[in-house]
Amino acid sequence: MNQNSYKKAGVDVHAGYQSVALIKEHITKTQQNNSINTIGDFGGLFPLQLGSIKEPILVSGTDGVGTKLKLAFLLDSHSSIGIDCVAMCVNDILCSAAKPLFFLDYIALDKNYPQKVSDIVKGIAEGCVQAGCQLLGGETAEMPGFYAKDEYDVAGFCVGIVDKSKIPDKSKIQEGDKIIGIASSGVHSNGFSLVRKILKDQAIDPSSYTFQNKTIGEILLTPTKIYVQSVLKLFEEITIKSVAHITGGGFYENLPRSLPQGFGAKITLSSFPILPIFDFLSQKGGIAKQEMFGIFNMGIGMTLVINPSETNQALELLRSYGEEAYVIGEVIKEEGIYLC
């Protein structure tokens, strides 16, 4: 069928067909033994196997990558952005002890470049593999005149499952409970509007400015760490009273969400290493450390509240799973986050 009229309007359906052909191999990597889904169907099919789950609760999450995408555009590097998208979703539902089941993506762009779409989906598939979930479907929308030239947006949606009895109960948190922090891989996917402003104000070219033997761009594009496998295993071994994903708003916004009313947290700054990239941003941007903790993760991507008696076991297990983990503070009977 002749599609010249549509192509003249800026939409190349043949590029869309090529994109689908290229991404099939990435999607296939995430398919599980019980998969009955066919790429190209109008809906994603997922057989729900409950196993030993007595009271199944479905947990959903959705998110995007934010203005970190601007760095990907600038550096023409698109293969890790998909991991960020998956991570932002699955790490959120992990706070409810949910095992991710499947993920859907949405990619909207000004022009469909099949190799670029393939690179993005390759990252999404890698994120799904890391999270142990299936890339069940998605949508690629070519929207000429809506997005700037060579730019795109990517967002995702995941669904997980948890037995009702396994959901963390923050009402059981007591004064003196310990807060364990699990190390981040870097800036993750938050605060990039400020990051880009700092780079612009200081005339720092992320493609050429080197820091710790890498370009700043490479460091900033380090994908968000996915904590699913290690934290789900930990849930099987100890009682975790609450979990917080340290994303936008840093410690000040996210830690209180994991605490009951009337309680707060005292964080010991010397208890964990602040990643060098945050010292760099603080110095170049003239931002006080206190303020940095309200914007960035500062080297801690996820926090867990546990009984003091289980602290050593939790640390040993997390480290055996390949995580860097620290006791970073404790729960106090006073609302707020206090850095000391």
Domains with residue ranges and CATH for the chain: 4-166 (3.30.1330.10), 170-339 (3.90.650.10)
Residue 321: how many CB atoms within 10 A of its CB?
16
Kindly report, residue by residue over 112-123, the tens digit of the pLDDT.
888 999 999 999
- pLDDT given at position 3: 61
pLDDT tier at 206 (50, 70, 90 boundaries)? very high
**Residue predicted with more confidence, 27 or 124:** 124
**Residue predicted with more confidence, 124 or 40:** 124
pLDDT tier at 12 (50, 70, 90 boundaries)? low
Alpha helix locations (H) across the chain?
A: 4-8, 13-28, 68-75, 81-94, 114-131, 192-201, 216-220, 228-235, 250-254, 276-285, 289-292, 311-320
- What is the reported pTM? 0.91
- pLDDT given at position 49: 86
What mean pLDDT, rounded, does the chain reach?
Answer: 92
Q: Does pLDDT of 14 surpass 60?
A: no
Residue with tokens 């080297």: 299
Average pLDDT over residues 291-309: 98
pLDDT tier at 264 (50, 70, 90 boundaries)? very high
Q: Does pLDDT of 107 surpass 70?
A: yes
Average pLDDT over residues 299-324: 98
- pLDDT given at position 44: 80
**Residue predicted with more confidence, 267 or 212:** 267
- pLDDT given at position 8: 55
Residue 80: how many CB atoms within 10 A of its CB?
21
Q: Does pLDDT of 302 surpass 90?
A: yes
Alpha carbon of 81 to those of 3, 67, 152, 315: distances in Å?
31, 11, 11, 30
- pLDDT given at position 167: 98
Alpha carbon of 281 to those of 67, 150, 268: distances in Å?
16, 28, 21
Range of weakest confidence among 132-141, 294-303, 312-321: 132-141
Kindly report, residue by residue over 154-169, the tens digit of the pLDDT.
999 999 999 999 999 9
